[in-house]
Structure 1
């Protein structure tokens, strides 16, 4: 059994640390620019999760994985959170290739629309809790006797 990271709504959440992720150091400059850009949905999400205030889970903002920069990453879960704004409207093929690559590394991706982040933040955070419970939690009904 994997080590318990935290509990969400009474459900134990188990660590799922994905090791040896590829890293492209040539993206460091772009990473700094993205952090400074401060897209509203990302800033709002960061305020909800920074410093472990979301169930004591540590989130990294703007993390390089391979040749991509993801919006948020939870290394103890192998979980990526992407906040999709209007820039993603014409990039479905690119986003699909990117997602397939990241998932091939053993990572899970939770997508949020920038609109929902700005207008339904409470619901988004509940959806994130449910996603984490569903993928990393152990409920009494899922235990094998």
Structure 2
């Protein structure tokens, strides 16, 4: 049995305050349920923090900057943990958001619709 660990809300708050420009840009598309589902920023999922999380549909959206190129094994372990916990993980690069934020938003919206369809049977 795992020992209960309280959520690190202080760290989550710091991460939200220190959001990258691309996280802020994508948040404008995700906030307020604009794509048909409610997302929260920098939410704890196990030992990790999801950049964006839809609890209802268990969708995680991750934005990868240059530092992620050096952390491929860490990101793979993180994705595996989240997938095994039932989350659908969507990864986009900062370049994707910079050059085609509407396309990224459409991809997320399609994932939302697919997840709803899967859950409705």
TM over 0.5: yes
- Residue aligning to 1:27: 8
Structure 1: runs of 5 or more not aligned: 1-21
- TM-score, normalised relative to structure 2: 0.85
Structure 2: runs of 5 or more not aligned: none
Equivalent residues, number = 117
Aligned-partner SS, 1:120: helix
- Residue aligning to 1:89: 69
Q: Are 1:75 and 2:66 matched, yes or no?
A: no
Alpha-carbon RMSD across the aligned residues, in angstroms, is: 2.1
Distance, in Å, in 1 between the alignment partners of 2:34 and 2:106 is: 14
Q: 1:23: how far off?
A: 7.5
Per-residue Cα deviation, 1:110-141 (whole angstroms, up to 9, x for no partner)? 11111111110111112222233334326xxx
Q: Are 1:111 and 2:91 matched, yes or no?
A: yes
Q: Are 1:46 and 2:27 matched, yes or no?
A: yes
Distance, in Å, in 2 between the alignment partners of 1:89 and 1:28 is: 27
Structure with higher Rg: it is 1
Q: 1:24: how far off?
A: 4.3
Q: Are 1:36 and 2:17 matched, yes or no?
A: yes
Per-residue Cα deviation, 1:23-62 (whole angstroms, up to 9, x for no partner)? 743633322221111201110111111111222x110111
Change beyond 3 A, Cα 1:89–1:24: farther
- Residue aligning to 2:40: 60
Distance, in Å, in 2 between the alignment partners of 1:99 and 1:122 is: 24
- Residue aligning to 2:102: 122
Distance, in Å, in 2 between the alignment partners of 1:119 and 1:23 is: 42
Q: Which runs of 4+ in 1 moved over 4 A?
A: none
